[in-house]
């Protein structure tokens, strides 16, 4: 399966997430999706018709994610992959690959912040399926303040460099052996410059929650990872579980 994503920027949200639409004509009108009635209704506010975005999206099988810091709403729908598309591009035995690797999250087509990337592949002792995403990025002085406040012994970034903090979310949907806990950490990630050169790993005490844990099938975890980047590099990429030769893996933009 591949995912098609619609991004709606800077939208006013309510607790039920309404958006203008034409599915209802007056207050109290019911909403039907493919013949099934939703438990919520349309509303008319100041002459404008509103329908519940989350309820409609999820009834159509889409996932709705809200990034408050960026003021974005991400609606991700599943569509059928053509029969000649390879949906599992496994690398080494411990390198799960994006399940839609021919479409998104590659080095030449990295995923944006907030995009949920499904993966599937073999680890050293298991076969796993899940999702991974970058939910937040903090860079420069703001990142340094968080790192310094976490531990005042954390050192300043190198000359010409600054810190970049990323909040990573990992969901383990299923595994062949449910008794095995998968170990994930920031060491699974590599920061690569916009010109294609690996950065050295930043050695700092991370803010809580740190992206280091063990997780069983059905669980999810979100935590921080820290990297050091050149101040004049606007387009670094973050790679998750590349092969040793630098290929494969799941790639994210950080801008």
pLDDT at 85 over 90: no
Q: Which CATH number fits domain 81-253: 3.40.50.300, 3.40.50.920, 3.40.50.970, 2.60.40.1240?
A: 2.60.40.1240
Query: Per residue in 152-206, pLDDT tens?
Result: 999 999 999 999 999 999 999 999 999 999 999 999 999 999 999 999 889 999 9
Q: Is the peptide bond before 209 cis (omega within 30 degrees of 0)?
A: yes
Whole-model pTM? 0.62
The better pLDDT of the pair 43, 185 is held by: 185
CB contact at 8 A, 190 and 229: no
Per DSSP, helices labelled H in the chain are 53-59, 141-150
**30: which residues sit within 8 A by CB, 6+ positions away?**
24, 37, 38, 41
pLDDT at 80 over 60: no
pLDDT of residue 70: 63
CATH 2.60.40.1240 domain position(s) in the chain: 81-253
Burial class (CB in 10 A: 0-12, 13-18, 19+), 155: exposed
CB contact at 8 A, 31 and 58: no
**SS3 category, 59:** helix
CB contact at 8 A, 113 and 105: no
């Amino acid at each position: 399966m591949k995912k098609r994503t619609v991004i709606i920027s800077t939208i006013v949200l309510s607790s039920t997430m309404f958006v203008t639409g034409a599915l209802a004509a007056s207050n109290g009108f019911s909403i039907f999706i493919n013949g099934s009635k939703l438990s919520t209704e349309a509303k008319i506010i100041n002459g404008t018709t509103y329908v519940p975005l989350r309820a409609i999206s999820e009834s159509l099988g889409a996932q709705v994610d809200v990034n408050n810091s960026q003021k974005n709403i991400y609606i991700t729908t599943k569509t059928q992959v053509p029969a000649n598309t390879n949906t599992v591009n496994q690398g080494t035995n411990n390198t799960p690959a994006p399940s839609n690797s021919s479409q998104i999250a590659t080095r030449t087509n990295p995923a944006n912040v907030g995009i949920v990337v499904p993966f599937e592949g073999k680890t050293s002792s298991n076969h796993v399926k899940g999702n991974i995403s970058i939910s937040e990025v903090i860079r420069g002085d703001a990142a340094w303040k968080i790192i310094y406040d976490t531990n005042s012994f954390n050192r300043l970034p190198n000359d010409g460099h600054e810190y970049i903090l990323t909040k990573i979310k990992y969901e383990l949907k299923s595994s062949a052996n449910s008794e095995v806990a998968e170990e994930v950490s920031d060491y699974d990630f590599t920061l690569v410059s916009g010109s294609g050169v690996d950065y050295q790993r930043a050695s700092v005490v991370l803010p809580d929650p740190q992206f280091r844990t063990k997780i069983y099938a059905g669980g999810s975890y979100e935590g921080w990872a820290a990297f050091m980047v050149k101040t004049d590099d606007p387009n670094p990429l973050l790679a998750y579980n590349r092969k040793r030769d630098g290929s494969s893996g799941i790639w994210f933009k950080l801008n």
